[in-house]
Amino acid sequence: MALLELRDIHIYYGGIQAVKGIDLTVDEGEVVTLIGGNGAGKTTTLKTISGVKRPSHGTITFQGARIDGKPAHEIAGLGIGHAPEGRRIFGRMTVLENLQMGLYGAGKGGRTTRRRVEHDALARVFALFPILKEREMQLGGTLSGGQQQMLAIGRALMTRPALLMLDEPSMGLAPMLVERIFDVVKEINEQGTTILLIEQNASMALNAARRGYVIESGSIVLEDSAANLLHNDDVRKAYLGEE
C-alpha cells in the first residue's frame, strides 16, 4: 500500500484550472520528486496535499485513509510535514520559537509528554543543523537564506512526520549550500522519513530521488525511475539545460 496516493486530482484557482487530473503515489521510504517549469502546478499540488488548498475533484489518501477535505492542522497532525516555497519562517520570532511552532498540536498526552516530544524533536533538528543550535535565540529574520531554509525544514520535522514535503529547498542558495541541503535530505530519508520533493534544480532532485514525475501545464506527462528520467532526452533538453 502506498503511503500517499493522489487519484484524478483537479484543482482550480477561481475559473483557472491549475491541476488537471493528476495521479501520483509515494511509497514508504521513498524519495519522489515532482519536476516541471514555473506555473506547472507543483506547489499547488503540495498545498493541496497539506490541506491549504482543496481539490475540486479526486481523492488523496495517506496511510490508507482519505485526507482530502481535512483542515491543514489535522493533516499535519496525521504525519505530513511541509517546508513551503519561500521558507515562510516567522522573522520576528527566535529560531527556537520557530521550531516550537512546528510542534503545534503535538504531545497532547500532557505537559510531560509534550516536553519529551519537544526535547527529542529539537535534538534531532539540532543534530541535522548544528548552526540552528548555535543561533537558537537569534531572530529568524536575521538568519542567512541558507539558515532560514534549514529552519524551515527543521520546523517541518518537529512532529517527526512520516512524510516530509519540500518545496524548492535550494531556491536562492549558493551551490555549496545546495549540496549541504541535499546531503541533509538524504540523511533525513535514511533516518526513515519518506520525502516528496519539488525542486527547480532537476539534476539535484533526480539524483536524490528514487522515482520522479514530470508535470506540465497541470498534467503529469511522464513518470519513471529517477535514473531513467536523468537519461531521457526530452527531460535533459527541457530541465537539465542540455542539447
What pLDDT sits at residue 191? 95
Instruction: Single out the residue of 188, 199, 168, 189 nearest to residue 28, CA to CA.
Output: 189
157 — phi, psi (to 5°)? -85, -10
**Residue 94 in contact with residue 138, Cβ under 8 Å?**
yes
Tell me the residue length of the chain: 243
Does residue 66 form part of some domain? yes
Q: Which three cell numbers stand for residue 80?
A: 505530513
What pLDDT sits at residue 12? 94
**Residue 5 in contact with residue 63, Cβ under 8 Å?**
no
Average confidence (pLDDT) over 196-207: 93
* pLDDT band, residue 173 (cuts 50/70/90): confident
Does residue 121 form part of some domain? no
Does residue 89 form part of some domain? yes
Does residue 219 form part of some domain? yes
Residues in CB range of 183: below 8 A, 6 or more apart? none
What pLDDT sits at residue 167? 94
Does residue 98 form part of some domain? no
What pLDDT sits at residue 70? 94
Average confidence (pLDDT) over 83-96: 90
Residue 233 CA to residue 230 CA, distance in Å, equals 8
| Mean pLDDT over each residue of the chain, to the nearest integer | 92
Residue 190: in which H helix or E strand, if any? helix 175-190
* pLDDT band, residue 242 (cuts 50/70/90): low
β 16-26/4-13 pair status: antiparallel
The CATH number for 187's domain is 3.40.50.300
Residue 24: in which H helix or E strand, if any? strand 16-26
What pLDDT sits at residue 240? 82
Q: Which three cell numbers stand for residue 58?
A: 479526486
The runs of H, that is alpha helices, within 18-164 are: 42-49, 72-78, 95-101, 111-128, 130-134, 145-157
**Residue 165 in contact with residue 46, Cβ under 8 Å?**
yes
Residue 101 CA to residue 104 CA, distance in Å, equals 5
What pLDDT sits at residue 174? 86
* Count of domains observed in the chain: 1
Does residue 135 form part of some domain? no
What is the span of the domain harbouring residue 38?
4-93+161-239
- Higher per-residue confidence, 86 vs 105: 86
pLDDT at residue 113 above 70? no
Does residue 126 form part of some domain? no
Does residue 150 form part of some domain? no
What pLDDT sits at residue 108? 54
Condensed to tens digits (0 to 9), the pLDDT of residues 23-67 reads 999 999 999 999 999 889 999 999 999 999 999 999 999 999 999
Measured CA distances, 42 to 120, 169, 182, 214, 223 (Å): 32, 13, 19, 9, 14
DSSP code string of 203-223: HHHHHH-SEEEEEETTEEEEE
